[in-house]
Amino acid sequence: MKLEGKVLIAQGGGPTAVINQSLVGIILEARRYPQITKIYGALNGVSGIVDERFVDLTQETERNLEEIANTPSSALGSTRDKPDEAYCKQMFEVMRAHDIRYFFYIGGNDSSDTVRIVSEEAKKVGYDFRTMHIPKTIDNDLMGNDHTPGYGSAARFVTQCFMGANLDNRALKGVYIGVVMGRHAGFLTAASAMAQRFPDDGPHLIYLPERPFHMSQFLSDVKNVYDKYGRCVIAASEGVQDENGQPIMIKYANKVERDAYGNVQLSGSGILGDILATYIKNKFHIKRVRADTFGYLQRSFLGSVSDTDRAEAREVGEKAAQYAILHDMDGSITIQRVGDYAVDYRLTDIGQIAALTRCMPDAFINEEANHVTEAFRSYARPLLGSNMPIAGRLRAPMVKKLVR
């Protein structure tokens, strides 16, 4: 009665700081069931399935698995491949040959779409097996989830970046622009707001892809802040776009790449920061205008992990194994917020997740479209985890002038 066979786990899309927690959560939970004959890992996501590149995770030690759980970036390797029907047929040929009956794919919305196609293909050919999508994405853009594993740690990193950038900008005044990852969803850029402690702390301005970006309004915002504080710290999403949906970096520059999904390749380039810095310099003749593009560090930096995120990433893996093996069900594990702060996990139909993008709700963005609201702060605070470093400042009074 119980479906006996092998487990296959794969990881897809961009790595996160806690994606291996989910991997290890699945492995350790799956080990408890006698009907699981072996636990395999596919190298480099679905491409490792068609190429039949599997490792036998049954032979891993628990200590090493825990070390891997605490290591960022997909331990099995990843892929950007998006399987079509032919690709899926190849996958089945391989999976059937190995008696794989449980397929777990850890990934974002592109990966969940892969799971959906694979599951349908399985039904078509009458192959009895369970498919599970386990969420991960630093973008926090999966439907049906309060938030996604990987976001909390990336948000913590971005917060730490802006805490430091704000202090640097206070010490040597000027304008600082930090460009944050996020093609369509502004959650990660919005996390920069968590860096603010004192009323004059930056980021003073936050620009998200959810609101049209107008260069003239941007420049006017910067002037207001600069006039008030003599400095300005700006967080801008790499995906900021105009009212027609055209990315600002494309509108003002020309060369971009496209990856296999047709997504515009925005990361790893300083173009947007340079554009914004140049416009500010030219308009206001402020000497010290600097831009950083945080790039791949946001998803891979070793040493900025939210303990909340770490725990939840582990649990979504465990829950996926339980739903598939114990309950014989298919779907995507989602995180639901059930308290302040508490979560529970739900099995959700994959059709509600696959290939869809969740954006920042209106309640999280201020009216001027240049910062976040208190509602966003309340939402984000528990996700960053405990023991966030604190930025102190002097309270010493000014000394009376004697000379002039």
DSSP secondary structure string, 123-188? HHTT---EEEEEE--TT---TT-SS-TTHHHHHHHHHHHHHHHHHHHHHS-SEEEEEE--SS--HH
With beta carbons less than 8 A apart as the criterion, state whether 232 and 176 touch. yes
> CB of 144: closest distance to its own copies in angstroms?
26
Instruction: Name residues contacting its own copies, limited to 266-305 (CB under 8 A).
Output: 267-271, 273-274, 290-297, 299-304
| 163 is a site residue for its own copies (CB under 8 A) | yes
**What's CA 222's distance to the chain center, in Å?**
28
- Asked if 370 contacts 205 with a C-beta cutoff of 8 angstroms, the reply is yes
Q: Does 402 bind its own copies (CB under 8 A)?
A: yes
Between 295 and 351, CB nearer to its own copies: 295
Assess whether the previous peptide bond of 83 is cis (omega < 30° from 0): no
Q: Tell me whether residue 4 or residue 257 sits nearer to its own copies (CB atom).
A: 257
Task: Report, in Å, the least distance between residue 390 CB and its own copies.
Answer: 6
Figure out which of the listed residues 167, 215, 219, 264 binds its own copies, where binding follows CB under 8 A. 167
Say how far apart CA 265 and CA 179 lie, in whole Å: 14
One residue of 5, 72, 247, 331 binding its own copies per CB under 8 A: 72
Answer yes or no: are the C-beta atoms of 95 and 103 closer than 8 Å. yes
Q: Kindly tell me which residue out of 1, 86, 342, 403 binds its own copies, with binding defined by CB under 8 A.
A: 403
Rule CB under 8 A: choose which of 31, 37, 70, 251 binds its own copies. 70
Q: Is 41 among the residues that bind its own copies (CB under 8 A)?
A: yes
Among 59, 216, 244, 254, binds its own copies (CB under 8 A): 59
Query: Under rule CB under 8 A, which residues in 304-323 are in contact with its own copies?
Result: 304
Site string for its own copies, 223-262 (x = CB under 8 A): ----------------------------------------
Query: Are residues 177 and 290 in contact, defined by beta-carbon separation less than 8 angstroms?
Result: yes
Question: Considering beta carbons, is residue 31 or 173 the nearer one to its own copies?
Answer: 173
C-alpha angle 61-67-72 in degrees, rounded to nearest 5: 130
Residues assigned a catalytic role: 139
Pairwise CA distance, residues 348 & 99, whole Å = 26
- Is residue 52 part of the contact set for its own copies (CB under 8 A)? yes
Helix (H, G, I), strand (E, B) or coil at 319: helix
Closer CB to its own copies, 161 or 380, in the complex: 161
Candidate segments 47-55, 136-144, 234-242, 345-353, binder of its own copies by CB under 8 A: 47-55
* Least distance between its own copies and beta carbon 161 (Å): 6
Nearest to 159, CA basis, from 200, 140, 187, 183:
187
Write the binding mask 75 to 104 for its own copies: x where contact by CB under 8 A, - elsewhere: xxxxxx------------xx--xx------
Helix (H, G, I), strand (E, B) or coil at 285: coil
Stretch that binds its own copies, among 50-58, 131-139, 180-188, 328-336 (CB under 8 A): 50-58
Most distant CA pair in the chain, distance: 92
Q: Does 170 bind its own copies (CB under 8 A)?
A: yes
CB of 98 to its own copies, least distance (A): 6
Give whole-number Cα distances, 359 to 145, 247, 289, in Å: 12, 16, 30
In angstroms, give the least distance from the CB of 291 to its own copies.
Answer: 6
Residue 398 binds to its own copies (criterion: CB under 8 A): yes
Whether the upstream peptide bond of residue 323 has omega within 30° of 0, thus cis, is no
